Structure 1
Amino acid sequence: MWRGQQNSGNGRPREPLSRPSWAGRNYLLLTGATVIANLGSSGALIATAFAVLASGGSATDVGLVAAARTVPLVLFLLIGGAVADRLPRHHVMVAANALSCVSQGLFALLVLGGEPRLWQMAVLAALGGTGQAFFAPASEGMVLASVSGEHAGRAFAVFRMGMNGANIGGAALGGALVAAVGPGWVLAVDAASFAVAGALRAFLDVSGAPVRTRGGGLLHDLRDGWQEVASRPWLWAIVLQFSLVNAVISAAEAVYGPLVAEEHLGGPGPWGLALAAFGAGTAGGALLMTRLKPRRLLLTGTLCVFPLALPSAALAVPLPAAGLTPLMFGTGIAVEVFAVTWMMALHQEIPEEKFSRVSSYDWLGSLAMVPVATALAGPLQDLIGRTTALWCCAAVVVLLTAAVLCVPEVRHLTRRAPAPTVTSSVPASPRDKAEDPDHSL
Structure 2
Amino acid sequence: MTSLDLDTTRQGTARPALPRPYLVWLAGTRASLLGDAVLYFALGWAASAHGGGTGALVLTAITLPRTLLLLVGGAVGDRFGARRVMIAGDAVMLTATLALALAGSGTDPSPWLLVTVAAVVGTVDAFYLPAAGSMPRSLVGEAQLPRALAVQQAAGQVASLLGAPLGAVLVAAAGLTGAVLADAGTFAIVLVVLVLVRPAFEVERSPRTEGLLAGAADGVRVAVADPVLRSALLLTAAAACFLLPVVSLLNPLLAREHGWSAGAAGLIAGGQSLGVVAVALVVSRRGTLRRIGRGAALGLCVAAPGIAAVALAGKAGVALAVAGGIVTGAGSGLFACHIGPLVLTGSPGTHLARMQASLTLVQSLALVVGNNALGTLADAHGATAATALCATGTCAAGLTGLALKPLRRLRRP
C-alpha distance in structure 2 between counterparts of 1:134 and 1:158, whole Å: 23
Radius of gyration: which is bigger?
1
1:250, CA displacement in angstroms? 4.4
Show CA shifts across 1:53-83 (max 9, x none).
2x2423x543332222111111111000001
Which of 231, 235, 248 aligns to 1:237? It is: 231
- Could you say which residue in structure 2 is the equivalent of 1:332? 329
Which of 395, 399, 406 aligns to 1:409? It is: 406
C-alpha distance in structure 1 between counterparts of 2:408 and 2:84, whole Å: 37
Aligned with 1:219: secondary structure? helix
Aligned with 1:205: secondary structure? coil
C-alpha distance in structure 2 between counterparts of 1:202 and 1:257, whole Å: 41
Percent identity, aligned pairs only? 28
Unaligned runs of 5+ in 1: 1-19, 417-441
Given that 2:32 and 2:190 are in contact with CA atoms closer than 8 Å, whether structure 1 keeps it comes out as yes
C-alpha distance in structure 2 between counterparts of 1:208 and 1:41, whole Å: 28
- Could you say which residue in structure 2 is the equivalent of 1:345? 342
- Could you say which residue in structure 2 is the equivalent of 1:354? 351
- 1:10-49 alignment to 2 at 5 Å? 22-49=17-44
* 2:213 is aligned with 1:216: no
1:335, CA displacement in angstroms? 1.8
Which of 345, 353, 370 aligns to 1:373? It is: 370
1:298, CA displacement in angstroms? 0.8
Show CA shifts across 1:76-122 (max 9, x none).
11000001111021010111122233333334444434222333312
Q: Which amino acid aligns with 1:306?
A: C
Q: Which amino acid aligns with 1:64?
A: L
C-alpha distance in structure 2 between counterparts of 1:234 and 1:207, whole Å: 27
- Could you say which residue in structure 2 is the equivalent of 1:267? 261
Which of 211, 222, 231 aligns to 1:228? It is: 222
Which of 240, 246, 249 aligns to 1:255? It is: 249
Aligned with 1:103: secondary structure? helix
Query: Kindly tell me: are residues 238 and 159 of structure 1, through their superposed partners in 2, closer, same or farther at Cα, counting changes over 3 Å?
Result: closer
- 1:13-412 alignment to 2 at 5 Å? 22-53=17-48, 55-58=49-52, 60-206=53-199, 209-210=202-203, 212=205, 213-264=207-258, 266-289=260-283, 290-310=285-305, 312-319=307-314, 320-412=317-409
TM-score, normalised via structure 2 length: 0.87
Query: Kindly tell me: are residues 41 and 210 of structure 1, through their superposed partners in 2, closer, same or farther at Cα, counting changes over 3 Å?
Result: closer
1:186, CA displacement in angstroms? 1.4
1:203, CA displacement in angstroms? 1.8
C-alpha distance in structure 1 between counterparts of 2:349 and 2:390, whole Å: 36
Given that 1:265 and 1:321 are in contact with CA atoms closer than 8 Å, whether structure 2 keeps it comes out as no
C-alpha distance in structure 1 between counterparts of 2:365 and 2:396, whole Å: 20
Query: Kindly tell me: are residues 247 and 118 of structure 1, through their superposed partners in 2, closer, same or farther at Cα, counting changes over 3 Å?
Result: farther
Given that 1:250 and 1:370 are in contact with CA atoms closer than 8 Å, whether structure 2 keeps it comes out as yes
C-alpha distance in structure 1 between counterparts of 2:339 and 2:105, whole Å: 42
* Stretch deviating more after TM superposition (208-217 or 225-234): 208-217
Q: Which amino acid aligns with 2:130?
A: P
Show CA shifts across 1:282-337 (max 9, x none).
22111110213411001011111123335653443344222222322232222222
C-alpha distance in structure 2 between counterparts of 1:408 and 1:133, whole Å: 32
C-alpha distance in structure 2 between counterparts of 1:62 and 1:315, whole Å: 30
Given that 1:51 and 1:111 are in contact with CA atoms closer than 8 Å, whether structure 2 keeps it comes out as no
Aligned-residue Cα RMSD (Å) equals 2.5
C-alpha distance in structure 2 between counterparts of 1:265 and 1:284, whole Å: 30
Q: Which amino acid aligns with 2:391?
A: A
The structure richer in helix per residue is 2
Query: Kindly tell me: are residues 240 and 294 of structure 1, through their superposed partners in 2, closer, same or farther at Cα, counting changes over 3 Å?
Result: closer
Q: Which amino acid aligns with 2:346?
A: E
Show CA shifts across 1:156-179 (max 9, x none).
322333222222233332233333
Query: Kindly tell me: are residues 144 and 193 of structure 1, through their superposed partners in 2, closer, same or farther at Cα, counting changes over 3 Å?
Result: same
Given that 1:144 and 1:156 are in contact with CA atoms closer than 8 Å, whether structure 2 keeps it comes out as no
Show CA shifts across 1:325-378 (max 9, x none).
232223222222222222222232222121111221111101113234334444
Query: Kindly tell me: are residues 386 and 283 of structure 1, through their superposed partners in 2, closer, same or farther at Cα, counting changes over 3 Å?
Result: closer
TM-score, normalised via structure 1 length: 0.82
Aligned with 1:294: secondary structure? coil
Given that 1:299 and 1:405 are in contact with CA atoms closer than 8 Å, whether structure 2 keeps it comes out as yes
Given that 2:239 and 2:300 are in contact with CA atoms closer than 8 Å, whether structure 1 keeps it comes out as no
Q: Which amino acid aligns with 1:379?
A: T
Q: Which amino acid aligns with 2:84?
A: H
Q: Which amino acid aligns with 1:393?
A: C
